[in-house]
Structure 1
Amino acid sequence: MRTHRDSTARDTSTMNPVNVFQLLILAALWGASFLFIRVGVGDFGVAPLMALRVGIGALFLLVVLLARRPLRESTATLRARALPLLVVGILNSAAPFCLFAYAEITLSAGVTSVINATTPLWGALVAFVWLKDRLSALRSIGLVVGFAGVLMLVWDQIAAPSGTNISPATTALAAAAALGATLLYGVAASYTKKHLMGVDALTVATGTMIGATIVLLPLAITSWPATAPSMPAWGSVIALGVACTGIAYMLFFHLIAVAGPARAITVTFVIPIFGILWGALFLGERVSIGMIEGCSVILVGTALATGIVKRIPGFGGRRVSERC
């Protein structure tokens, strides 16, 4: 999962029932992206699938951007920030999308969506190392707890009988790829904060999707599948581009505007629920007790590491105000 937040103002807004429903729709869309990747990657391959995803998403967002602003103003901003937009496009879309697609050749959609929930953990850690953002003792504990949950989840996948010839090393490599994708999301968040402050979220999203498309297009052409992809695979890639990228980004930006970034980012906690649900319903994926336990530990760690939970009764002497 990938986010651009405006942290220059204090979040004083609230979420009404309509906003909560919109957040659930957003989580359902982003949770479904792991389902569609799982369906499409076998036919398309990694680079073609992701190039189509970001290309369709870029086209959708570009149309919205041009509908809201004059052509000259939109293109001037994109040209002026072309290099940082390209870098974020690689870090926040092209590379992590491909890593997730590679991971889903082996891992289930549900497991991959749970690993995606570690994105805020990496975001907090990278911001601490790079931007010198403060990490309290509670947030540090959250990092340890969250990554312990990842180990639990990966161990559950390695230990579980799969009925296939997939080796533990292959499973571990796929999990490492997914975790690498969330690390890149964390790096992208800090890079965006450092180099794209003041640029509105719609322009950042559009520019980065265009950049990601430029980077992935040559790879997609050279690795295009020799066999024509099936109709379900084409349906998956269209759903990825339009619903899980274009529409989902627009909904996320709307929630940031009306409810504030701190509340919008709580979508991270709901995405794994839908990722697991869609995988079980439509792909018949196994949902084990170990998987649920690992997911729960990751989400608890994320809540602590991001500052959403600011105080545990009996831990520390007073409540400390922190930025998410």
Structure 2
Amino acid sequence: MTRRGWLLFALMSVIWGVPYLLIKVAVEGVSVPVLVFVRTAVGAAVLLPLAVRGLRSARLRQHWRPLVAFAALEIVVPWWLLTDAERQISSSMTGLLIAASPIIAVLVGRLTGDGERLGGARWTGLAVGLAGVAVLAAPGLRGGDVRSIAEVLLAATCYAIAPVILARRLADVPALPTTAVCLGLAALLYATPAALTWPTVLPDGRVLAALAGLAVLCTAVAFLVFFALIREVGPARALVFTYVNPAVAVTAGVLVLDEPVTVPVVLAFVLILAGSVLATGRRSDTPTGTPADPSVKVPAGNRPETVRAVSGPSPGRGR
């Protein structure tokens, strides 16, 4: 890759690795609806003006049903689930559990008619990755965090299903207008709940900084950088940064929030990462640059024309 490509890759690895940390900080001072509303409203406000030209030719009205479904599964539902879950569990655990979404995406592909045969390596990847999820979730389940862990895994499932809708029903719709409109729809849905739970006292600076980071850096800027990365290196290489995000999430949680690094966390990280790489790997006869599985997810959001075949907008995925 070019030097610019490596820079964009590094930026995306960090930008969609730190939302879990910022959510953990922000949710201490504002409600879940307020957090999601601020994030989506600011993201829409930044991206909609840039997408105006594309909106005129995107024919979004003809695709309103899959567009609403995609917005629900990529933003509206998972962002609520992740934020609510982080009131109880660590940002590190959240980031690692969400890293299982590529593994879930392979299973979703099989259940929704994906005819591609899974070889031994990919089946092994599924088993290894799910074992990593089990290792990570088991202590939390014993500690009573069943609901929070279930919320994160449900969010990961949403992230796995949303790209299927994008690839099969929105393939001819440009990604920037799709992203902007989905963020706008989410902001409208969260406006009333956010107003009803708006804080009566201004949150402290730490919470406000986390909200600003989520809205501006991890949403608006993230999608612009992501689109630039796709144009620079292509969709196949761009997808690789999703394997770096969990490491960033764990590192940020440890360094900033003093979250513990335990043996189960390290083991789960290795298993989930290895499982994701194996489960989403290309077959030997898949042409270079072609994604092996059109349902493999790229963190939360909705992407540019070149990405339409591979996924949807982290995130994100906290993405």
The answer to whether TM tops 0.5 is yes
Tell me the number of residue pairs that the alignment of Structure 1 and Structure 2 aligns: 288
Whole-angstrom CA distance in 2 between matches of 1:296 and 1:99: 25
- Aligned pair partner of 2:124 in 141, 149, 164: 141
- Aligned pair partner of 1:307 in 281, 297, 308: 281
Correspondence for 1:323: 292
The answer to whether the aligner puts 1:32 opposite 2:14 as a matched pair is no
The answer to whether the aligner puts 1:150 opposite 2:133 as a matched pair is yes
Correspondence for 1:61: 47
* Residues 1-324 of structure 1 aligned to structure 2 (within 5 Å): 15-66=1-52, 69=53, 73=56, 77-137=59-119, 138-157=121-140, 168-169=143-144, 171-308=145-282, 310=283, 319-321=284-286, 323-324=292-293
Instruction: Describe the SS at the equivalent of 1:93.
Output: helix
CA contact (8 A) 2:54 2:177 kept: no
Once the two structures are TM-superposed, the CA of residue 246 in structure 1 deviates from its matched residue by 0.8
Whole-angstrom CA distance in 2 between matches of 1:254 and 1:79: 27
Gaps of 5+ in 2: 294-319
CA contact (8 A) 1:23 1:255 kept: yes
Structure 2 vs 1, CA of residues 58 and 134 (structure 1 numbering), >3 Å: closer, same or farther?
Answer: same
Whole-angstrom CA distance in 1 between matches of 2:115 and 2:82: 28
CA contact (8 A) 2:54 2:174 kept: no
Q: Mean Cα displacement is larger for which, 92-101 or 130-139? A: 130-139
Whole-angstrom CA distance in 1 between matches of 2:103 and 2:177: 26
Q: Percent identity?
A: 30
Residues 57-103 of structure 1 show CA distances to partners (whole Å, capped at 9, x for unaligned) of 1111112223xx277x16x6344433322221111001101111111
Task: Give 2:208's aligned amino acid.
Answer: W
Residues 3-58 of structure 1 show CA distances to partners (whole Å, capped at 9, x for unaligned) of xxxxxxxxxxxx32331221111111111111110001121111110111111111
Structure 2 vs 1, CA of residues 135 and 246 (structure 1 numbering), >3 Å: closer, same or farther?
Answer: farther
Once the two structures are TM-superposed, the CA of residue 261 in structure 1 deviates from its matched residue by 1.4
Once the two structures are TM-superposed, the CA of residue 120 in structure 1 deviates from its matched residue by 1.1
CA contact (8 A) 2:32 2:80 kept: yes
Once the two structures are TM-superposed, the CA of residue 277 in structure 1 deviates from its matched residue by 1.4
Whole-angstrom CA distance in 2 between matches of 1:262 and 1:133: 20
Q: Mean Cα displacement is larger for which, 192-201 or 138-147? A: 138-147
Task: Give 2:3's aligned amino acid.
Answer: P
Structure 2-normalised TM-score? Answer: 0.84
CA contact (8 A) 2:140 2:149 kept: no
Whole-angstrom CA distance in 2 between matches of 1:293 and 1:65: 43
Once the two structures are TM-superposed, the CA of residue 222 in structure 1 deviates from its matched residue by 2.5
Instruction: Describe the SS at the equivalent of 1:43.
Output: coil
Once the two structures are TM-superposed, the CA of residue 158 in structure 1 deviates from its matched residue by 5.3
Task: Give 1:125's aligned amino acid.
Answer: L
Supply the RMSD in Å over aligned alpha carbons. Answer: 1.9
Task: Give 1:222's aligned amino acid.
Answer: L
